[in-house]
Structure 1
Amino acid sequence: MLGSTFFLAVTCLLINSAGSQKIQSVACEGSEAQLKCGKGQVISVSRATYGRLDRNTCSSGKPANQISNIKCSRSSDKVAERCNGKQQCDFKADNSEFGDPCQGTYKYLEVEYTCEKKTEPERSSPQKSPTVACEGSVAQLQCGKDEFISVSTATYGRRDQKTCSAGRPEGQLQNIKCSSSSGKVAERCNGKQQCDFKADNSEFGDPCQGTYKYLEVEYTCEKKTEPECISQKDSALACEGRVAKLRCGKGEVISVSGATYGRRDQKTCSIRRPEGQLKNTQCSMSSDKVAKSCNGRRWCNFKASNSVFGDPCVGTYKYLEVEYTCEVPERRLQNATAVVCEGKGAKLLCGKGEGIYVSRATYGRRDQKTCSTGRPEGQLKNTQCSSSSDKVAKRCNGRRACKLRATNSVFGDPCVGTYKYLEVDYLCYATMTG
């Protein structure tokens, strides 16, 4: 008589037709799947499902009614997101991680992955460990001499119960599905050697009231070295969810000639993607968003995402393709800063044959001196109420002159009762024609 299957977690080796080893790891509900590769190798998850597909797996000691439903499997990319690129990774098979696809059924997590040779990226950009700052504290991003910060992801909220949990009541740690991405850290820190950023609701909003949150930033330190050769025409490609990096040499600026988001062939960005996500090759849309954000800059990062471009073809795995040139301006870029007190207006103005490029715009208050004349002390105390805005860039980029007004009706009110001001960092660049 064949006995029940007795295991909490097991790892098997499978050999595919190409001869490479595909590893299968199974973890019963409540236990941990252990993914592990050898020295010089990293994990690459091809599939992860949570639920139940048969009556034998993880069945020991379980009543029949908890293993009878074998059509309750849910695919998830969470394991790939957390484990890909690591040598070793543990992942708990739990409803708090994956949700509950079938209540009353005893489930298991099944992961298929391969161990791939660790390869160095084309550009030297050593990945630093994620920087975490608990709510109310400051994240400190630091690179070495002749290096600059390049932020890849920044999230604010809570994704587990362990991080930033010391001394906190259980009720403030239970919600682990309240994480929101933000581009503010990248906007403020990219290109700098050192940067501090406060983990605070005034900066990021409050994605989950009553939960104690934290800021998690992943970034690399990139060398301030010039490429050996800058081609006259260049291109950048980013698969959906990744970042396209546009780079020019010293004394040159980006000029985007075209940017498309969607899919035009079945080969690009196809690795480990099911055939159904690659079939539609007639779903490409042009966009001027990359040009508006990147033109006139020496380097620029731009995320390939539906939240940025919209979704031209639901269910298709897309990519961003950018064509650009690196051009030498007629004269050097001129940097300037404009400050507009609340309720006042101002005008950004560049010279003839020049265009405005806004690198940063914040509305609120960061010190007690700016725009303080004639104001009571109570309106100047709060210096932690500054919010970034892309409205100035959208209105002014590419124009020679642009009028602004610093009001709550335009930018919202980040701190009621505080007298605020608008601060804009921008540059004037020589516009290119012909």
Structure 2
Amino acid sequence: MAMGFVRLTTAVLLTATCLLLIAVVDSADKITTCDYGDLRVHRLYCDHGVIKVQEALYGRSSSLVCADDNPKKYLANTHCTQPNTANRIKKSCNGKKLCELSLEEFRKPDPCADTFKYLQTNFTCLPAITVVTCEGSVAHLHCDLGRVIYVYGADYGRRDRTTCSYRRAPLELENVDCKHPTDLVAKMCNGKYGCAIPASNAVFGDPCITIYKYLEISYTCQLLQTGSCEKMASGCFRLTTAVLLTATCLLLIAVVDSADKITTCDYGDLRVHRLYCDHGVIKVQEALYGRSSSLVCADDNPKKYLANTHCAQPNTANRIKKSCNGKKLCELSLEAFRKPDPCADTFKYLQTNFTCLPAITVVTCEGSVAHLHCDLGQVIYVYGADYGRRDRTTCSYRRAPLELENVDCKHPTDLVAKMCNGKYGCAITASNALFGDPCITIYKYLEISYTCQYPVTRPH
């Protein structure tokens, strides 16, 4: 690796990974939201992995929960239950990292009119790979040899205004209640070693017309068991603690050495190519804008537009590396790669192979100082740094809207690497004086991704 070497032995990774994620498999969480009659949000969240709902209740099963100062007569009925609550929450939340629900969805019909109610959910966090693919791109699910895909959940729609938002008009992002949970991905992919799913209305229907959508999939790779097993969705798998632990350890070791692939078909309009690491930061390996296969992004295009499989835009990989390396999330417009057209009579796509490297990420607002440091015996190695603004939320406290509006203010810099690599500690001021001003009037921040590694001595 440029300017340094990282010694991440299998033994160290395996030990750390297993100790960390044994808790993910075995621990359970409980969320209780008291229903005061106004707009209440029931929020389930997994810091690592994805949600698996175990039990849920809307009603009352205890006189002590959400009691407050309510008269006892409103707490007495402890056999009040809204039917099908658990299944409704499972359908909305299983397989997601974050799930927010309104209690309004559970109030009608009222299961017990004279009782003060609450919504309570027990859930666990399962280790998972999460793939988010913008509309018009292809989601690639894959497992190592000997393991197969098992999909926890999938959703096609929109749940926030930031995901897959690069250069989209505000009207295309405004509906954040566009949920469309689907079991189609599980039916198409479970039990396979690899699977490709287009994020498109043609496959999933259009849950919110005029809204630019994305496909969110959570899955794991597991050993296929023979003999008797538990039926789950469209596959037959034995999810014992031992299998889960094995899959977990193997899964997160893959953070270091597994590769991912993102393909975005170029339909000629504004398409977003989105690279994302659930853990760690991006390291681009290869990239192509053009066509190297007649099967990728073929759809119903005439064969004459798919025949040229030697079409490549020069320097594509280097441009993506410069924009994305060292970031957790990177969104690119295909507009940046179209000129000059490498093959005018060919239907093209942008495809990137990348890995996720373990990293420490530091975000420092303009005017503050970023402190990078390593334990004794280790030194800093910077993966990447960027000074500017990529969203409206980071470092936004009490800033005027005009200071946040330019979210295309990117300024990748190697200055942090030059100043900090090989040192035990390093302080960098996030300022225009040091990095220049990539967007005047915009309040900026410095984003740095780095790791700590043992220096390698070379024989003389």
TM-score by length of 2: 0.37
Larger radius of gyration: 1
Higher helix share: 2
Q: TM-score, normalized by length of structure 1? A: 0.38
